[in-house]
Amino acid sequence: MTLTVTTHLNFSGHARAALDFYARVFDGERILMTYEKMGQAQAAAAPDHIMWGQVVSKDGFRIMAFDVRKDQEFDAGKNAFYVALSGSSIDDNKARWSLLAEGGTILQDLAPTQWSPLFGMLIDRFGITWVVDATTDDLQ
């Protein structure tokens, strides 16, 4: 049996923009289904809001997101979860870090640590906290 865990992000009207952003950062394919397309326009705050969406990249990155229904309470919360991104390429991690940081807030600079050759933490422009680290001993 294979088990995969995918982070699923909830938004109130920003899922499309977030998925567009992550598709660019991770060079992934974006798939979007609107409430209107799924015959559920009345359940959404706007018919073009995302009922289900995801980004999948060739290197295995996957994230899902949607816009909550109009009758669903939404609170982005604070520190409810982090998205952890681990990769074996220092250069790729640095490049993705730079893109994720656009319009965001860096909590801990991307740098070597005792436990990783590269580690950093930031909040992206959509309020998502990312922990980025390298899984290699090669400090390129």
Three-state SS at 42: helix
Contact predicate 125/119, CB 8 Å: no
| CATH code, 90 | 3.30.720.110
For residue 110, give its domain range: 83-134
Q: Tell me if 77 is assigned to some domain.
A: no
Alpha-carbon span 113 to 139, nearest angstrom? 11
Of 67, 93, 117, the position where a domain reaches its end is 67
Contact predicate 133/119, CB 8 Å: yes
Alpha-carbon span 122 to 132, nearest angstrom? 8
pTM above 0.85, yes or no: no
Beta strand extents in the chain (DSSP E only): 7-11, 28-34, 50-57, 62-67, 83-87, 105-111, 119-123, 129-134
Please indicate, yes or no, whether residues 58 and 17 belong to a single structural domain of this protein. yes
Per-residue pLDDT of the chain (140 residues; tens, 9 = 90+): 666 789 999 999 999 999 999 999 999 999 999 999 999 999 999 999 999 999 999 999 999 999 999 998 888 887 778 899 988 889 999 999 999 999 999 999 999 988 889 999 999 999 999 999 988 654 44
Which phi-psi region, left, alpha or beta, contains residue 5 (left: φ > 0; alpha: ψ -120 to 50)? beta
